[in-house]
Structure formats: C-alpha cells, structure tokens
Amino acid sequence: MTSKAQTIETWGVMQPPRPWLIDFLARLRHHPLGMFGLIGVLLFFFLALTAQWVAPYDPTAGDYGVMQSPTLSHPFGTDWSGRDILSRVISATPSELKVGLTAVFVGVALATMLGLISGYLGGQVDSVLQRLVDAWLAFPPLILLLIISSALGPSAKSMTIALVIGVIPGTSRIIRSTVLAEKNKVYVEAAQVIGASQTRIMLRHILPQLVPTIIVMVSIAIPVIALLGAALSFLGMGTPQAVTWGGDLSGRASQFFTHAPWMAIFPGAAISLYVLSFNMLGDAMRDIFDPQLRGSAAMRG
C-alpha cells in the first residue's frame, strides 16, 4: 500500500530522475538475492585489492604442520605440504579477478565489433562471418580453450587469451541480432540520408543503442568465464607456480582429500561463492534494467 502511495506522490511532484547508480541501489533494496550478490562482489574486490595484507600467512610457506584440520589459528586448515588454506584462498583472488574480468571485457568488446560489422554490413560479409561463428560454436568450448591454452603454454596470459576466445562467438551472435533490429530504424535511415559514413553510423548511432545488451552480456559472461577459467586451472592450464582455486583442487592435492576434506571444500567453496555473487548481482541487474531478459540463459555452456 505505502509503496503505491509513494509512487503516486513521486509522479505528482515530478522529481528529476535520479542518477542511475543511486536508482539502481534503491531498487536493489527490494532484491535480497541481488543485495547478497553485491555484497559478495564487493567482498571479492576488497580481498583482491588487499590480499597481501589480509592473508594471515604466507600462502606458499609450508611450515604449519601437514594437513591440520581447521582450528582458530588456521580456520580453513592446512594442506598436504603444510600451507595455510585460508591464505591460499585469499591470495588467489587478485589473479582470478584479473584474468576473468580482463577476458570478459576484451572478449565482449571484440564480440561487439564483430557483431556490429557482421550485422550492419550484412550480405556476403555477414554470411562469411556467421559461418565462421558457426564453426567456432560447434567446437566444444572447453576443448577449444584447452587446445589454445596448451598451444600458448601454461600461463595467466595464455589463459586470458583462451577465455577471450571463449567469450566471443556466443556474445557476438546476440549483439548481431540486436544490430539487425536497430539498423532498420528511422534514425539510422536519417543518418544515411544526410550522408554519414558507415563507420560513423556504426559507432555514433548504433553502438550507443547496444549498451543495454552489452551490459547484460557482461553480466552473463562474468560467471560463465569464471567457471571456465577455474576448469582450466583445474586441468593444469594456469601458471604452474601461481596459487589458483582450481589448481588447489587438482594434481597431487587430490590424493589427500579423503584424509583432509577441508583441502577440497574451501577452494571449491570460494569459486562457488565468487560465481554465485556475480550470478545473483547479474540476475538482479537484469530484473531491474530489463525485465524482458529475466532468467535468460542464452550464453551458458
């Protein structure tokens, strides 16, 4: 009841529109899951920025007793070579965020270019590019990424490149379909009539209309890419010496899981919490900004 009354009152006074961030946060209050997601995302950013000070121990120093169960001094226990698991989980955040977010932003940017060119130019260009994207999509994603990162050698950089390649095809398809819907609208015709160049129409007229779609694609891609990246580190494609959540769940460590289950539980829970936070925030964003895309699962897999 009160909310209805408030809406009417707001409309009556004709307040100027709120800045979008404030508007978003105000609406997020009614999304408990989205709020949870936001807090989680902020927590991971905080940990990523402060990892070296927040981590209680040296993540690579193995002198705290082998496979000790969680205690107050080692809340997540220690691993098979006596390293503190909490410190390892925290120390992995900067690189996980850096690799995942770089891959998503670069990938979505390239996909936007590809989708714009393919959709706007149409004709032969579009046919050729779309057959390429078809082939790209027909490749089982994880296997393509595995081949690429093993071609480039195990490192954070090659993993980022592999993940970028994972983002592009599906995203560019969706951007292209938005471009196809936009390019027949009157404003594009008007720009063509006054003699604007194709590049100008694409960049100055159509691109701004794609922003909502791009935001949605970023929000969908972040969790998906985080999972793929974790799978790649699990399969041994990260930098060999680097601390990663996926890497701590594989290799020699896995022989000891039955004796020290905490070794398996905490790094995996960190990945899940990270992905869950971005998923929940992304869902809430889509609910708030674009109710039509509610529950969209277009890019998963």
Partner 1 sequence: MAQYIVRRILYLFPVLFVVSLLTFVLMRVVPGDVAQLVLGNSATPEEVEAFEEENGLNDPLVDWKPPFGQYGEWVGGLLHGDLGNSYYQNSPVRDELAHRLPVTIQLMVMATIVLVVLAIPAGVIAGVRPNTPLDFVTRTTAVFGLSIPGFWLGTLLILLPSIWFGWTPPPGRVALLDDPVKNMQQFFLPALALGIPPAAAVMRLTRSSVLEVLRADYVRTAWSKGLRERTVVWRHVLKNSLIPVVTIIGLQVGALLGGTVIIEKIFTLPGIGLFTFDSIFRRDYLGVQAIVMLMSVVYVFVNLAIDVTYVWFDPRIRYS
Q: Return d(Cα 123, Cα 230) in angstroms, integer.
A: 39
Q: Helix and strand tally (H, E) in the chain?
A: 11, 0
What is d(CA 131, CA 205) in angstroms, rounded to the nearest whole number? 27
Q: Which of residues 189-228 bind partner 1 (CB under 8 A)?
A: 223, 227
The answer to whether 79 contacts partner 1 (rule: CB under 8 A) is no
Cβ–Cβ < 8 Å for 244, 258 = no
Interface residue with partner 1 among 5, 14, 138, 193 (CB under 8 A) is 138
What distance in Å separates the CA atoms of residue 100 and residue 91, rounded to the nearest whole number? 15
Q: Is 234 a residue that touches partner 1 (CB under 8 A)?
A: yes
Decide whether 159 or 230 has the Cβ nearer to partner 1: 230
Residue among 54, 180, 231, 288 that touches partner 1 (CB under 8 A): 231
- If one asks whether residue 148 binds partner 1 (CB under 8 A), the answer comes out as yes
Tell me whether residue 291 is exposed, middle or buried, using C-beta atoms within 10 angstroms of its C-beta: 0 to 12, 13 to 18, 19 or more. exposed
DSSP assignment, residue 204? I
Q: Which of 150, 155, 192, 209 is the binder for partner 1 (CB under 8 A)?
A: 150
Among 118, 158, 213, 279, binds partner 1 (CB under 8 A): 279
Does 75 interact with partner 1 (rule: CB under 8 A)? Answer: no
Closest CA to 163 of 246, 259, 66: 246
In the list 100, 141, 238, 247, the residue contacting partner 1 (rule: CB under 8 A) is 141
Residue 189 neighbours by CB distance under 10 Å = 10
- Is residue 8 near partner 1 by the rule CB under 8 A? no
* Residues at the contact surface with partner 1, assessed by CB under 8 A: 33, 131-132, 134-135, 137-143, 146-148, 150-151, 153, 223, 227, 230-231, 234-235, 246, 249-250, 254, 257-258, 261, 264-265, 268, 271-273, 275-276, 279-280, 283, 294-297, 300-301
